[in-house]
Amino acid sequence: MSFKGFVRYTARRGIVLFLVVVVAIYITIIVANMGGKIDEFVKGDLYLQIAQQVKRDPQYKNLPGSEQEKIIKAKYEQEIKRLGLDKPFFQRSLIYLKDAITLNLGRALYMTSDSGSKLVRNIILERLPATVLLFTTAMVINFFIHLFLGLYLSRNYGSLFDKIVIALAPTSTIPGWFYGIFLILIFASWLHVLPYGGLVDVPPPTDPVAYALSVLKHMILPLASWIISGFFLGIYGTRTFFLIFSTEDYVEAARAKGLPGRLIERRYILRPSLPPIITNFALGLIGSWSGAIITETVFNWPGLGLVTWTAIQNFDTPVIVGVTVIYAYLLAVTVFLLDIVYGLVDPRIKLQ
């Protein structure tokens, strides 16, 4: 492929991916708002909430009923205006879409960030470090454990360890948070050696080193739960993957040529298997940034999963769109880059 062709290909690929992102975001907006039906729910809740607030407030309690009604209506209309619910849903959906595409994440309707900011950007960014710290670490640890032990088993196919891994692979169908509950019961509740959850000790240590160590201590159980959950199936999957690659014709041919085993492994097995491994890694990395709702709940970990969940619960569309758009863009860029990376690492894919 000529440079011009490469540019044309990447531009075409880029446009297609962008359109996919646009469609995905708009679908998210429609789904998150149930096609505008959410407005009714929100308005209902809002009205009852304001009415109860006014009725209970000692400041208004002695006012005549008609005065109270006026106050309720005024407050309600003010709030409707603030939330933008006075505009038709279709119009709002296009505003959401435009803001999302231009990465103008705007302001949340109800939620605030941990530090009290109403900017969606802050709501997401303030939770990202804790999310990355736990879930990306878990993902990276899992990735390498699976890769190395998978490779080891593919070499020691049929060994006792191999048989154990195959036998225990179904245990990975149990999600990490489920193991988490048992780990909490054993190490926090029973042995009382590790914390029940949270990010740091109560009260938080004042010394930065002690603080960091405390965070690490709080990571042990959630990390362990994810590692245990993915352990056997992950290794089994990688091991099988390598076994499939090691029976390809060109590997057999290399063996027939009498090439050394290490060379065959590195050049004929590992290299062609890299694209799917990198894809897995890249997608896993992005996936880890969205957090995990139940694990975060079980371990009381302040991650992005809970932010997304709260946004869905509260129908806070800007936050839902914000989380989705970041994920969609990251995914599109990753896919785009992977297309290029494949050509570099896989000897079977060449520029023409």
Partner 1 sequence: MKTKLAVLVIALLVASIVAPLAFAQPNAPNGPWVDEVVFFAEKDRAKAVDMLSKGDMHLYFIDVSDPQIFQKAKADPNINYKFAYGLYYELTFNPVGPVFKNGEFNPFFDPKIREAMNYIIDRNYIANEIMQGLAAPMYVPITYASVDYARFIDVIKSLEIKYKYNFEKGKEIIFKEMMKLGAEYKNGKWYYKGKPVVIHFIIRTEDKRKEIGDYIASQLEKLGFTVDRMYKTSRQASPLWLFGNPADGKWTLYTGGWIQTAISRDDAGNFAFFYTPLGIPLPLWQAYKPSPQFYEVAKKLYENKFNSIEERNQLMTKALIMALQDSVRVWLVNQKAPFLLRKGVEVASDLSGGFATNMWSRTIRFTGKVGGTIKAGNSEVLVDPWNPVAGSDWVYDTVVYQATRDFATLPNPYNGLPVPDRMLHATVYVLSNYSTLITKSSDWLDLNFVDKITVPSDAWYAYDPVNDKIITAGEANVTEAKVKVVVNYGDVIGKVKFHDGTTMTLADWLVGFPLTFARVNPKSGLYDEAAVGPFQSWRKNFVAWKIVSVHPLIIEYYINYINLEAEFIADWAAGYPAHPLEMMAIGIKADAEHKLAFSADKADKLKVEWMNYIGGPSIPVLKQMLDEAKAEGYIPFKGFLGKYITVDEVKQRYQNLENWFKAHGHFWVGDGPFYLDKVDYNAHQAVIKAFRQFIDKADRFAGFVEPMVPEVSIKAPDVVISGLKADFDLSVTYKGKPYPMDKMWFVKYLVFDSAGQIVAKGEAKAVADGKWKIELPASTTINFGTGSYKLLVLAVSKEAIVPSQAEQPFTVTSQMAYIKGQVAQIQSSLQAKLGSLENGITQLNSKVSTLEGEINAVKGNVNIAMILGIIGIILAAIALAKAFKKS
Distance in Å, CB of 59 to partner 1, minimum: 5
Rg (CA), the chain: 26
Q: Between residues 72 and 251, which has the closer beta carbon with respect to partner 1?
A: 72
- Position 187 contacts partner 1 (CB under 8 A): no
Residues 200-229 that bind partner 1 (CB under 8 A): 200, 202-204
**Residue in 3, 90, 102, 116 binding partner 1, rule: CB under 8 A:** 116
Q: Between residues 83 and 331, which has the closer beta carbon with respect to partner 1?
A: 83
Contact region for partner 1 (CB under 8 A) — 16-24, 43-51, 138-146, 244-252? 43-51
- Position 263 contacts partner 1 (CB under 8 A): no
Q: Which two tokens stand for residue 55?
A: 């009725």
Q: Which two tokens stand for residue 95?
A: 């505003």
Q: Which two tokens stand for residue 147?
A: 């890769």
- Position 271 contacts partner 1 (CB under 8 A): no
Q: Which two tokens stand for residue 80?
A: 């409707």
- Position 74 contacts partner 1 (CB under 8 A): yes
Q: Between residues 73 and 271, which has the closer beta carbon with respect to partner 1?
A: 73
**Residue in 9, 26, 60, 281 binding partner 1, rule: CB under 8 A:** 60
Give 238-243 contacts, CB < 8 A, sequence gap 24+.
238/146, 238/147, 238/149, 238/150, 238/151, 238/154, 239/149, 239/150, 239/151, 239/153, 239/154, 239/157, 239/162, 239/165, 241/150, 241/273, 241/276, 242/150, 242/151, 242/154, 242/269, 242/273, 243/154, 243/157
The C-alpha torsion from 224 through 225 and 227 to 230, rounded to 10°, is 170
Distance in Å, CB of 300 to partner 1, minimum: 6
- Position 285 contacts partner 1 (CB under 8 A): no
* Residue whose token pair is 């804790």: 130
Contact region for partner 1 (CB under 8 A) — 21-29, 91-99, 108-116, 322-330? 108-116
CB of 149 closer than 8 Å to CB of 238: yes
Q: Which two tokens stand for residue 266?
A: 């590195």
- Position 197 contacts partner 1 (CB under 8 A): yes
Beta bridge partners of 119: 107
Distance in Å, CB of 35 to partner 1, minimum: 14
Q: Between residues 278 and 307, which has the closer beta carbon with respect to partner 1?
A: 307
**Residue in 2, 3, 62, 208 binding partner 1, rule: CB under 8 A:** 62
**Cβ atoms within 10 Å, residue 134:** 26
Beta bridge partners of 107: 119
Q: Which residues here bind partner 1, judged by CB under 8 A?
A: 40-41, 43-45, 47-48, 51, 55, 58-65, 67, 69, 71-75, 78-79, 82, 107, 112-119, 122, 126, 129-130, 184, 188-189, 192, 196-200, 202-204, 297-298, 300, 302, 315
